[in-house]
Amino acid sequence: MVSWTKARLWPEELEGRWVWQWNKYGDPAIQPESVFVPLGLQRNMKNCWGKWWASQDFDHVHVRTLDLPADGALPFSNLFGEDFLVAHFGAASILRYPEVVERFVEKKVSVPNNIAIVTFATDNIAPHALLLRQLDNCGIPYTNLAYHSLPRDQIWAHRYKFPGLVEALPRIEQEYVLVADGSDVLLFQSLDSIVERFNAYRTEVLFNAQKTRWPTYAEVPGEDDIDYGCYRYLNSGVCFGRPQAVASFWERAWKLLRDNKITNDQLPCRMAFCERRDTTELDYRCSLFQNVNSIKYDCQSNLLRVI
């Protein structure tokens, strides 16, 4: 038996058989689904990105790590015992904690009128994208920047963020902008306090923070000069600030991406951050954003602990 494994790490000796496939970008109503893994499968983005596999004898139905109450309020806290506003789930955390995801997709939240939300989701992703589902449920307006940088029928790649943001952000009329990935970000509560929390950092642009660097192979000079503690590396999935400042950051990161022939969005953002420490900061206290690694539910205190 083989439990959930990233598709790109699936053992070659297990090719040529039917497996369970869970697709981060697929329809949650039919996940996981039974698929056949051909012999000699190419480990590329098309075949493997966002996909996890398990052998057919793996009992995925009964693998649930949390026993949440069926209804009622569900308080939550971060590593520091405080609440936060926005959660960024990776593929693994969506897979491990589907009951939490579905609970907050349906949660009613609000966003102040002086804050614009911009996100990214092409047609193949949009119907199942967590943030879009939540915002649509709540009637909250947003701008989908995917179509500023490529045709509607094209498949999304993270590098397309850059031209979309550089083009669209200067046109935003609101005072602040929240930039968030569409497929794996959720608002855990209304954003009434986001400006106050942002101002506490005394910066112009604030990014989500995570525990480890990604890509793991790339070290950026100066990245470890400041000891932020546990959450010390930039995550490019969520950021907040005034539109012009955010646009300026992404324009610089876009140039670094092109000059260095980088194909992902996170490395050039890490590089730009190290150049712009005077105007850019990480939410290392997780007071606005929480990058989700692990979730535990304390039934005695009815508290969801997200770290």
Same domain, 205 and 272: yes
Q: For the ranges 138-147, 189-198, 228-237, which has the lowest average pLDDT?
A: 138-147
The model's confidence at residue 254, banded by pLDDT at 50, 70 and 90, is very high
Q: Kindly state the average pLDDT of the residues 164-181.
A: 95
65 belongs to a structural domain: no
The string of DSSP codes covering 19-80 is EEEEETTS-GGG-SEEEEE-TT---SHHHHTTEEEEETTS--TT-------SSS---EE-TT
Helices and strands, number each (H, E), in the chain: 9, 16
Q: For the ranges 39-53, 266-280, 288-302, which has the lowest average pLDDT?
A: 39-53
64 belongs to a structural domain: no
- The conformation of residue 271, written as its DSSP 8-state character, comes to H
CATH number of the domain to which 234 belongs: 3.90.550
Same domain, 147 and 243: yes
Residue bearing tokens 């939550």: 76
298 belongs to a structural domain: no
Same domain, 96 and 241: yes
Same domain, 93 and 32: no
157 belongs to a structural domain: yes
Same domain, 159 and 244: yes
- pLDDT over threshold 70, residue 153: no
Task: Tell me what pLDDT residue 146 has.
Answer: 82
Same domain, 82 and 225: yes
Tens digits of residue pLDDT in 86-142: 999 988 899 999 999 999 999 999 999 999 999 998 888 888 999 999 999 999 999
Q: Kindly state the average pLDDT of the residues 2-30.
A: 92
Same domain, 25 and 140: no
Q: What percent of the chain has pLDDT over 70?
A: 97
300 belongs to a structural domain: no
Sheet with strand 17-23: strands edge to edge = 5-6, 51-55, 17-23, 33-37
Q: How far apart are alpha carbons 18 and 278 in whole angstroms?
A: 53
Same domain, 260 and 123: yes
Same domain, 48 and 177: no
Task: Tell me what pLDDT residue 63 has.
Answer: 77
Task: Tell me what pLDDT residue 84 has.
Answer: 98
304 belongs to a structural domain: no
Number of domains in the chain: 2
Global pTM value:
0.94
Q: Higher model confidence: residue 159 or residue 139? A: 139
State the residue range of the domain holding 168.
76-292
Return the closest-CA partner of residue 130 out of 236, 235, 238: 238
Task: Tell me what pLDDT residue 152 has.
Answer: 61
- pLDDT over threshold 80, residue 149: no
Same domain, 30 and 81: no
Ranges of H-type helices in the chain: 45-48, 91-96, 98-105, 130-138, 146-149, 161-168, 194-199, 243-259, 266-275
Q: For the ranges 80-84, 159-163, 180-184, 299-303, which has the lowest average pLDDT?
A: 159-163
Same domain, 197 and 252: yes
Task: Tell me what pLDDT residue 14 has.
Answer: 87
Q: Higher model confidence: residue 203 or residue 46? A: 203
66 belongs to a structural domain: no
Task: Tell me what pLDDT residue 291 has.
Answer: 97
301 belongs to a structural domain: no
Return the closest-CA partner of residue 115 out of 192, 56, 54, 181: 192
Same domain, 150 and 286: yes
Tens digits of residue pLDDT in 18-72: 999 999 988 888 999 999 999 999 998 788 988 999 999 999 888 766 889 888 8
